[in-house]
Chains A and B, each alone.
Chain A
Amino acid sequence: QSALTQPASVSGSPGQSITISCTGTSSDIGYYNYVSWFQQHPGKVPKVVIYDVTNRPSGVSNRFSASKSGSTASLTISGLQPEDEADYYCTSFTRSFTWVFGGGTRLTVL
């Protein structure tokens, strides 16, 4: 049950686009289409922004999009806004019938 691999930090200027990667294995991301992404602001509870690889819950900005290729999932945020500054976590279901999270990525909006 090794954690998924995410970059520790990414940054971008307002209006720009950024992409956060989430690398797993053939036993998790590479096997199931059950990848979700969470946004967590300091002191707040995580909030889902993407579920099942590409699906955006109602109420989440369409500036958030995601994809998967092989064992790597990616979250893209376009038109960066100051309120996007937060920690982002990916998670995937695994062949062991467990879930595993990534280590988290701190997004800084410059």
Chain B
Amino acid sequence: EVQLVESGGDLVQPGGSLRLSCAASGFTFSVYWMHWVRQVPGKGLEWVSRVKPDGTSADYADAVKGRFTISRDNGHNTVYLQMNSLRGEDTALYFCVRDRPSWDWGQGTPVTVSS
């Protein structure tokens, strides 16, 4: 059974940093692109970033480019999202998602950016 378990969400002040983690199990982690997607409660889904299976390449939404960095550790089946220069508009539930075709989702970890 595929499992994706996010952690690291917290309350952080504007301008602060946070690192999210996603522990994956139940599939061959090293062959899949992995994504982070966020959702403000009651609002729509927003794609944030993805990382290549071997970790050598990544892509970002314009809203987070230059502030967020995605990475992965295939030895520990974990994907990370380093979030710097956080803003109020980054407040959301952050989901770890396995790439198509299965698009498996974790339960999400909440990030709140507020003073």
- Residue interface mask A32-64, B partner, CB < 8 A = 1: 001010101000011110011001010000000
Known: A89-B45, A104-B44. A48 touches B108 (CB 8 A): no
Contact present for B105 and A57 (CB under 8 Å): no
Query: A100 vs B37: C-alpha distance in the bound complex, in angstroms?
Result: 10
Contact present for A45 and B108 (CB under 8 Å): yes
Known: A45-B95, A45-B107. A103 touches B44 (CB 8 A): yes
Query: A38 vs B107: C-alpha distance in the bound complex, in angstroms?
Result: 15
- Residue interface mask B37-55, A partner, CB < 8 A = 1: 1000000111100100000
Tally of chain A residues near chain B (CB < 8 A): 25
A1 at the interface (CB under 8 A from B): yes
Chain B residues within an 8 Å CB radius of A48: 100-103
Query: A25 vs B19: C-alpha distance in the bound complex, in angstroms?
Result: 34
Chain B residues within an 8 Å CB radius of A89: 44-45
Query: A30 vs B8: C-alpha distance in the bound complex, in angstroms?
Result: 37
Known: A1-B62, A45-B95, A45-B108. A101 touches B44 (CB 8 A): yes
Give the A-binding residues of B (Cβ under 8 A): 35, 37, 44-47, 50, 59-63, 95, 100-103, 105-108
